[in-house]
Chain A
Amino acid sequence: MTVQSAKEFKTARRPRRRLSASLVITVIATSVLVLLAILAIFADWIAPYDPLKQNLIEALQSPSAAHWLGTDDLGRDVLSRLIHGCRIAVIAAAEATTIAVLLGVPIGLFIGYRGGWWDWVVMRTVEAIVSIPGIMVAIVIIAILGAGLHKAMIALGILYSTSFLRLARGVVLAEREEVYVRSARVIGASDGRILLRHIFPNIAPPLIVQVTLTVGAVLLSEAGLSFIGLGVQPPDASWGTMLNTAAAFMDLNWFLAIPPGIAIIVTVLSVNLLGDVIRDAVGRGIVVGVKPQTPAARFETFASVAADSPLPPRREDEVLRVEGLQVMVSSREGNEVPIITDLSLAIAKGETLGLVGESGSGKTLTGLAILGLMGAGVRTTHGSITLNGRELSSLTEKQMEKVRGNEVAMVFQDPTTSLNPAFTVGSQIAEVLLTKKGVSKKEAWERVVELIHRVGIPRPEERARAYPHELSGGMAQRVAIARALSCNPSLLIADEPTTALDVTVQQEILDLFRDLQEEFGMAMLFVTHDLAVAADVCDRISVMYAGEMVEMAPVDALFANPRHPYTRGLLRAMPHASDRNPPLPTIRGNVPRPGFWPAGCRFSNRCDFRIAACDTRVPLVGTDRLARCVRAGELAMEVAS
Chain B
Amino acid sequence: MSENILLEINDLWVTYWRRSLLGLKGKPFHAVKGANLSIRPGETLGLVGESGSGKSSIANTVLGLVPATSGSIRFGDVELTSMRTHYPPAVRNQIQAVFQDPYSSLNPSMTVEDIVTEPLRVHTGMNRSERRTRAVELLELVSLSEEHLGRHPHQFSGGQRQRIAIASALALEPKLIVLDEPVSALDVSTQNQIINLLYERRDALGIAYLLIAHDLALVHHISDRIAVMYLGHIVEEGPSDRVYKAPAHPYTKALLDAVPLLDPEAQRRRRAARKSAPAIDAPRVSTTGCPYQNRCPSVMPRCQDAMPPAYPVNGGGTASCFLFDGGAVRHAPAIGETA
Interface string of A152-183 (1 = CB under 8 A from B): 00000000000000000000000000111011
Determine the residue in chain A with the shortest Cβ distance to B217.
A576
Interface string of A545-585 (1 = CB under 8 A from B): 00000000001100100000000011101111110111111
Which stretch in A266-274, A417-425, A527-535, A610-618 binds the other chain? A527-535
Residues of chain A within 8 A (CB-CB) of B108 are: 202, 286-288
In the bound complex, CA of A311 to CA of B24 (Å):
66
Q: Are B148 and A577 in contact (CB under 8 A)?
A: no
Q: Which of B174-201 contact A (CB under 8 A)?
A: 178, 187-193, 195-196, 199-200
Q: Are B168 and A288 in contact (CB under 8 A)?
A: no
Q: Are A286 and B152 in contact (CB under 8 A)?
A: yes
Q: Are A535 and B261 in contact (CB under 8 A)?
A: yes
In the bound complex, CA of A180 to CA of B153 (Å):
12
CB proximity of B27 to chain A, nearest CB, Å = 16
CB proximity of B45 to chain A, nearest CB, Å = 16
| A183, A193, A290, A359: most-surrounded residue (chain B CB, <10 A) | A183
In the bound complex, CA of A510 to CA of B222 (Å):
28
CB proximity of A242 to chain B, nearest CB, Å = 43
* Range for the number of chain A residues in contact with chain B: 35 or more
CB proximity of B117 to chain A, nearest CB, Å = 11
Overall SS of chain A's interface: helix
Partner of A583, one of B101, B106, B160, B196: B196
Q: Does B16 contact A (CB under 8 A)?
A: no
CB proximity of A570 to chain B, nearest CB, Å = 6
Residues of chain B within 8 A (CB-CB) of A585 are: 192
In the bound complex, CA of A575 to CA of B193 (Å):
12
Q: Does A128 contact B (CB under 8 A)?
A: no
Partner of B123, one of A188, A197, A290, A531: A188
Q: Are A180 and B104 in contact (CB under 8 A)?
A: yes
* Range for the number of chain B residues in contact with chain A: 35 or more
Q: Does A434 contact B (CB under 8 A)?
A: no
Q: Does B110 contact A (CB under 8 A)?
A: yes
Determine the residue in chain B with the shortest Cβ distance to A204.
B109
Q: Which of A508-537 contact B (CB under 8 A)?
A: 510-511, 514, 529-533, 535-536
Q: Does A253 contact B (CB under 8 A)?
A: no
Q: Does A396 contact B (CB under 8 A)?
A: no
| B92, B157, B199: most-surrounded residue (chain A CB, <10 A) | B157
In the bound complex, CA of A161 to CA of B285 (Å):
52
Residues of chain B within 8 A (CB-CB) of A571 are: 262
11 contacts between A and B (CB under 8 A): A179-B104, A183-B105, A198-B110, A201-B110, A473-B51, A510-B260, A575-B191, A575-B215, A575-B218, A581-B222, A586-B189
Interface residues of B (CB under 8 A from A): 23, 50-51, 63-65, 87, 89, 92-93, 95-97, 99-101, 103-110, 118-119, 122-123, 147-148, 151-152, 154-157, 159-160, 165, 168, 178, 187-193, 195-196, 199-200, 214-215, 217-218, 221-222, 254-255, 257-265, 267, 271, 274-275, 282, 339
Which 6 A-B residue pairs are closest in the complex by CB-CB distance? Answer: A188-B92, A532-B260, A576-B217, A502-B50, A582-B199, A575-B218
